[in-house]
C-alpha cells in the first residue's frame, strides 16, 4: 500500500498537473484546467502530509540507542515498504505483529545500513529509518513474526530490541481487562478467591470421598486429584488412570464440586475431558508444545503450571500456545521454581503473581503445596499468595496424609486446611476480595 501511495504521488500527480497545463494550452477553458491543477495539488498535499507525519512519528517514538532522549537529532528519513511473502525466518502467527527496533553500530557504514534494510524488506517487514548524530535505528513493523537472530548476525547491527511482548494473546496490551474463566457457577479471576483442594492422587474410593467431603466443608469449590501422575521416579506410584478419574468424578459430584486433574499426554485428553472440568498441565509439561497445541482445541479450561525452571516469559509463551489454538480459558499457576536453595523443595516465587497479573489478563492461582514441599509451610505461603493478589489456590489435602501414596509430606490434614480457610476469610476482604463465605455462615465462625 505504502509504495503504491508514493508511486501515485510521484507519477500520477505530475501527470495530472501536466494534463492541466496542456489542456489550457490547447484552449480549454481556464477554469477547467485550473480545477485539474488544483486537484493535483490537493492530492499531492495529502500524500506528502502522510509521508512527513509518518516520518515524525517514527523519529520521536524510537528509543535512542545511546539511552539519551534527543528526538530533535533524529532526522527522519523514512523507508516504508510493504511486507512481501513469508520468507525463511518469518512465520504467520495469529494476532501477532512484529514490532522491533534494530540499533545499528555507531560506526555502521551506509552500505551496512542499506543491506540490513534490504534484508528486512526481503523478510516482508516495513522499515522506518531514523538517523541521529551518532547512530541509526530502524523500526521494524510487520504482520509476520521475525526471528531477531537473523538480524543480529548482520554486519553493522548493534542490537535488536523487542518493543512489544513476544506473547500477544496472553498480554494485557492485547486485552486490558481481566479474563474470568467460568466453570458452571465457579468464576476464576473474578472478585472471589477460588480454592481447589484434594489429594495428590486418587488412591481409594474411601480416601477420595472423605477428602472431597472435608475440602467442601472447609469452603473449596473445586476438587483436585491426579489419576495420571508425572513422578520423578518410575518406581513411585503412577496413578490409577481411568479408575482414578471415575472415583474423583463421583466424589466431586457427591459434594457438588468441580474437578481438576492432570493431563500428561495428548493421548489422555479424550478420556480426561469426559470426567474433568479443568485440565491441569503440570510443571514438567509446561514445554510440551504438542500437548499445549492440542489443548488449544479443547472444550474445557486449562490450568497451566509454571515449569520448574521456566522464566515468566517462557510461561506466558506456553499459555500463548494454548490461546493461539482458540481456547481462551487458560489459568496460570505459580508452583515454585528450582533455585540454589535446598531448605525448601522449590522456591515459591511470590513476586511472580503480581508480575504476571500486570503482564497478562489471565487468572493466576498459586500452588503453595508444591512451592513449599512441606505441609508445615503451606498455610503461610497460601496466606501470602492471597494477600499478594492470587485469584485462587490449589492445595493438596489428604484425609490421611501420613499414609498417602504420593506427596504425603506436603499434603495438609483436613483440620489444617480448615483453619487455613478460616484465616483466608480474614485476609481476602482486606484486599477487597471474597472467599467462599457461605461456609462461614453455616459454621458460625467468629474470629
Ligand atoms: C501435582 O499437582 O500433583 C503436581 C505433580 O504438580 P507439579 O506439576 O507442580 O509438580
Ligand atoms: Mn502432587
Domain harbouring 125, CATH code? 3.30.70.1140
Phi, then psi, of 347 in degrees rounded to 5? -100, 115
Q: Is 105 helix (H, G, I), strand (E, B) or coil?
A: coil
**Which segments of 72-197 does DSSP mark as H helices, in order?**
110-122, 148-152
pLDDT for residue 87: 46
Claim to verify: residue 226 and residue 114 sit in the same structural domain: no
pLDDT for residue 173: 84
In a domain, 128, yes or no: yes
Domain boundary among 133, 162, 191: 162
pLDDT digits (tens, 9 = 90+) for 282-312: 999 999 999 999 999 999 999 999 999 999 9
Q: Are the C-beta atoms of residues 194 and 187 closer than 8 Å to each other?
A: yes
In a domain, 171, yes or no: no
pLDDT digits (tens, 9 = 90+) for 112-158: 999 999 999 998 888 989 888 888 999 888 877 788 899 999 999 99
Claim to verify: residue 136 and residue 271 sit in the same structural domain: no
pLDDT digits (tens, 9 = 90+) for 28-65: 445 554 444 444 433 333 333 333 223 322 322 333 33
Q: How many domains does the chain have?
A: 3
In a domain, 259, yes or no: yes
Residue from 244, 367, 373, 396 to probe ligand 1 pocket by mutation (most atoms less than 8 Å from CB): 367
Claim to verify: residue 16 and residue 82 sit in the same structural domain: no
Residue from 233, 237, 261, 305 to probe ligand 1 pocket by mutation (most atoms less than 8 Å from CB): 305
Claim to verify: residue 127 and residue 193 sit in the same structural domain: no
pLDDT digits (tens, 9 = 90+) for 70-115: 222 333 333 333 333 434 555 555 444 567 889 999 999 999 999 9
In a domain, 47, yes or no: yes
In a domain, 173, yes or no: no
pLDDT digits (tens, 9 = 90+) for 389-408: 999 999 999 999 999 999 99
How many CA atoms lie within 13 Å of 145's alpha carbon, on the beta-carbon side?
12
Claim to verify: residue 52 and residue 115 sit in the same structural domain: no
Lowest model confidence (mean pLDDT) among 41-55, 261-275, 315-329, 360-374: 41-55
Domain boundary among 127, 162, 197: 162
Q: What is the mean pLDDT of residues 22-29?
A: 49
pLDDT band at 216 (very low <50, low <70, confident <90, very high): very high
Atom of ligand 1 nearest to the CA of 407: 3
pLDDT for residue 99: 76
pLDDT for residue 447: 36
| 225/112 Cα distance (integer angstroms) | 59
pLDDT for residue 106: 92
pLDDT for residue 62: 32
Q: Would you give the DSSP letter of residue 64?
A: P
In a domain, 176, yes or no: no
The helix or strand, by DSSP H or E, that contains position 366, with its residue range, turns out to be strand 364-366
**Which segments of 262-413 does DSSP mark as H helices, in order?**
266-275, 289-295, 312-323, 352-359, 368-372, 375-387
Claim to verify: residue 123 and residue 229 sit in the same structural domain: no
In a domain, 291, yes or no: yes
CATH number of the structural domain spanning residue 253? 3.20.20.70
- Say yes or no: CB of residue 336 within 6 Å of ligand 1: no
Q: What is the mean pLDDT of residues 353-369?
A: 97
In a domain, 172, yes or no: no
Q: CB neighbours (10 Å) of residue 400?
A: 16
Distances in Å between the Cα of 403 and the Cα atoms of 6, 83, 121, 204, 340 are: 77, 63, 64, 12, 30
- Say yes or no: CB of residue 200 within 6 Å of ligand 1: yes
Please name which ligand lies nearest the alpha carbon of 408.
2
| 286/220 Cα distance (integer angstroms) | 25
Claim to verify: residue 285 and residue 207 sit in the same structural domain: yes
Q: Is 409 helix (H, G, I), strand (E, B) or coil?
A: helix
Q: Are the C-beta atoms of residues 293 and 321 closer than 8 Å to each other?
A: yes
Residue from 227, 232, 264, 335 to probe ligand 1 pocket by mutation (most atoms less than 8 Å from CB): 335
- Sheet of 136-142: strand order equals 75-76, 126-131, 136-142, 98-104, 157-162
Claim to verify: residue 57 and residue 114 sit in the same structural domain: no
Claim to verify: residue 123 and residue 222 sit in the same structural domain: no
Domain boundary among 115, 133, 162: 162
| 356/178 Cα distance (integer angstroms) | 12
Residue whose Cα lies nearest atom 9 of ligand 1: it is: 283
Å from CA of 335 to ligand 1 middle: 8
pLDDT for residue 126: 86
pLDDT for residue 91: 54
pLDDT digits (tens, 9 = 90+) for 228-281: 998 888 888 899 999 999 999 999 999 999 999 999 999 999 999 999 999 999
Claim to verify: residue 403 and residue 309 sit in the same structural domain: yes
Claim to verify: residue 437 and residue 318 sit in the same structural domain: yes
Atom of ligand 1 nearest to the CA of 226: 3
Claim to verify: residue 413 and residue 362 sit in the same structural domain: yes
Range of the domain at 57: 2-61
Amino acid at each position: 500500500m505504502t509504495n503504491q501511495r508514493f508511486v501515485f504521488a510521484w507519477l500520477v500527480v505530475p501527470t495530472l498537473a501536466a494534463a492541466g497545463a496542456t489542456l489550457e494550452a490547447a484552449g480549454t477553458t481556464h477554469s477547467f484546467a485550473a480545477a485539474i491543477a488544483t486537484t493535483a495539488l490537493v492530492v499531492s498535499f495529502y500524500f506528502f502530509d502522510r509521508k512527513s507525519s509518518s516520518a515524525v512519528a517514527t523519529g520521536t517514538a524510537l528509543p535512542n540507542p545511546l539511552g539519551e532522549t534527543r528526538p530533535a537529532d533524529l532526522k527522519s528519513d523514512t523507508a516504508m515498504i510493504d511486507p512481501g511473502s513469508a520468507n525463511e525466518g518469518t512465520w504467520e502467527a495469529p494476532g501477532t505483529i512484529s514490532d522491533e527496533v534494530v540499533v545499528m553500530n555507531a560506526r555502521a557504514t551506509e552500505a551496512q545500513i542499506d543491506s540490513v534494510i534490504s534484508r528486512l524488506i526481503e523478510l516482508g517487514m516495513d522499515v522506518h529509518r531514523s538517523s541521529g548524530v551518532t547512530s541509526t535505528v530502524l523500526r521494524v513493523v510487520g504482520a509476520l513474526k521475525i526471528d531477531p537472530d537473523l538480524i543480529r548476525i548482520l554486519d553493522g547491527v548493534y542490537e535488536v530490541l523487542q518493543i512489544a511482548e513476544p506473547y500477544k494473546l496472553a498480554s494485557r496490551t492485547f486485552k486490558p481487562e481481566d479474563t474470568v474463566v467460568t466453570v458452571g457457577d465457579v468464576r476464576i479471576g473474578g472478585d472471589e478467591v477460588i480454592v481447589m483442594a484434594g489429594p495428590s492422587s486418587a488412591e481409594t474410593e474411601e480416601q477420595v470421598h472423605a477428602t472431597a467431603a472435608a475440602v467442601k466443608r472447609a469452603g473449596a469449590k473445586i476438587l483436585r486429584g491426579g489419576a495420571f501422575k508425572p513422578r520423578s521416579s518410575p518406581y513411585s506410584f503412577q496413578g490409577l488412570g481411568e479408575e482414578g478419574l471415575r472415583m474423583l468424578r463421583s466424589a466431586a459430584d457427591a459434594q457438588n464440586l468441580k474437578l481438576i486433574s492432570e493431563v500428561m499426554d495428548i493421548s489422555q485428553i479424550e478420556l480426561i475431558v469426559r470426567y474433568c472440568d479443568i485440565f491441569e498441565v503440570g510443571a514438567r509439561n509446561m514445554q510440551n508444545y504438542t500437548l499445549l497445541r492440542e489443548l488449544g482445541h479443547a472444550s474445557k479450561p486449562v490450568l497451566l503450571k509454571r515449569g520448574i525452571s521456566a522464566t515468566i516469559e517462557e510461561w506466558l509463551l506456553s499459555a500463548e500456545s494454548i490461546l493461539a489454538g482458540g481456547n481462551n480459558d487458560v489459568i496460570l499457576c505459580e508452583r515454585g521454581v528450582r533455585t540454589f536453595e535446598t531448605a525448601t523443595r522449590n522456591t515459591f516465587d511470590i513476586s511472580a503473581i503480581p508480575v504476571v497479573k500486570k503482564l497478562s489478563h489471565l487468572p493466576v492461582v498459586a500452588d503453595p503445596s508444591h512451592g513449599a514441599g512441606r505441609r508445615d509451610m503451606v498455610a503461610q505461603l497460601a496466606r501470602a499468595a492471597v494477600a499478594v493478589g492470587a485469584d485462587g489456590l490449589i492445595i493438596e489435602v489428604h484425609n490421611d496424609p501420613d499414609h498417602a501414596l504420593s506427596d504425603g509430606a506436603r499434603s495438609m490434614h483436613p483440620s489444617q486446611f480448615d483453619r487455613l480457610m478460616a484465616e483466608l476469610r480474614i485476609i481476602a476482604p482486606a484486599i477487597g476480595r471474597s472467599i467462599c463465605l457461605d461456609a462461614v455462615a453455616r459454621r458460625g465462625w467468629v474470629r
